Structure 1
């Protein structure tokens, strides 16, 4: 197993209303650019582009990064992952081959971005997932939380200082999850939660 540190921590445009949280970036051999969701097989950026009525032009390099940051600014969406330090088994990008060592400080992101009202998790199934790691992060701060079971979107909330932060679990945009939900349905689910 190899220890890895998150390469970007988080990106939060001014006046972000929503924070999207994944697990951890894929192994670098799958990167097309140096930013969140860099695997071109993942549908995340196609979903975000559709919601913002924008055509993606760049697929690689720094221009692709800037184009994706521009989409997040337009939608007032911040982005991060739950893993700050992880152990990766077998150089695999699968969540089940990741072991959390240190969580991303979600509270710091909320402190620095007081306009965030909602956190969207892009994965919840399996032993290792963004939603499970978030619950473990809260537990490490002596906050008890459990998501209800049921069909996505799964909704909950928690109190952070004087704020009620809405929590939503959606389907993953990864290629593995693509057989569970159509692209159009995925866009509709994310659009409903992102456009406040």
Structure 2
């Protein structure tokens, strides 16, 4: 980040950062949470009206309210953290610093100032075989990082014979070779209610991914 941006009052650091362990097998990659006034907990996907933790509850425990605290309008952050660790799922935001052009977290109103050092992250996570994104902006950032690593002559992973990767469509994936390893990138639908898809279809999409990634057993197995 340039010195000018370091002093720009509009620049906001990601409040949560990475959450993963040495045995993490799958990385979840989004962008920025909403502003703190919309949080129901201090952890990733903190908006009670974002359906991430409802989807995860339904996919893994057949209970849409599995992570909800009773009848309260909040999720249990510690229960979520324990779940992520137990199922080898990590959180790795694609961005570290942004400017909210309209004061919200909508993709179209986020200016990315600094991105995650994905090479450094993956160096810590030898078992990661999949990275999945939860929105368009995160997918764009991730693919740009991958392409930069293979196209920059100064990169230790420079590979001039590799054609740049294209953005996958929602519910599609790419097999990539970057940062000295092979892994999959899977684009899942946003869990924001602003994304025009039913909760049932989102649940099905997330279930299909976690089955493919080997986190969930295949049906009938």
TM class by shorter chain equals 0.7 to 0.9
Instruction: Work out the CA distance in 1 between the residues paired with 2:11 and 2:185.
Output: 29
Given the superposition, is the C-alpha separation of residues 14 and 184 from structure 1 closer, same or farther in structure 2, using an over 3 Å criterion? farther
In the TM superposition, residue 135 of structure 1 has moved relative to its aligned partner by 2.1
Q: Secondary structure at the match of 1:158?
A: strand
Q: TM-score of the superposition, structure 2-length normalised?
A: 0.77
Runs of 4+ in structure 1 deviating by more than 4 angstroms, as ranges, are none
Query: Which structure has more strand as a fraction of its residues?
Result: 1
Q: Within the alignment, does 1:73 sit opposite 2:85 as a pair?
A: yes
Gaps of 5+ in 1: none
Residues 1:188 and 2:188 aligned together: no
Match of 1:156 in 2: 174
Q: Give the one of 13, 20, 27 matched to 1:19.
A: 27
- The answer as to 2:176 corresponding to 1:147 is no
Partner of 2:103: 91
Larger CA Rg, structure 1 vs 2: 2
* Paired residues for 1:70-149 under 5 Å: 70-124=82-136, 129-143=137-151, 144-149=164-169
For residues 43-54 of structure 1, what are the structure 2 equivalents within 5 Å? Answer: 43-53=51-61
Number of matched residues?
Answer: 187
Check whether the contact 1:86–1:101 (CA below 8 A) recurs between aligned residues. yes
Partner of 1:33: 41
The CA deviation at 1:43 is 0.3
Q: CA deviation at 1:52?
A: 2.0
1:97 positional shift:
1.2
User: How far did 1:14 drift?
Assistant: 4.1
Say which structure, 1 or 2, has more relative contact order (CA 8 Å, 6+ apart): 1
TM norm structure 1: 0.86
Aligned partners of 1:50, 1:106: CA distance in 2, in Å?
30
Q: CA deviation at 1:104?
A: 1.1
Q: What CA distance in whole angstroms lies between the structure 1 residues aligned with 2:86 and 2:20?
A: 12
Unaligned runs of 5+ residues in structure 2 are 1-8, 152-163, 215-221
CA drift of 1:120 comes to 0.6
Of stretches 46-55 and 75-84 in structure 1, the one that deviates more from structure 2 is: 46-55
Q: Retained in 2: the 8 A contact 1:13–1:72?
A: no
CA contact (8 A) 2:48 2:73 kept: no
Q: How far apart in 1 are the matches of 2:176 and 2:185?
A: 8
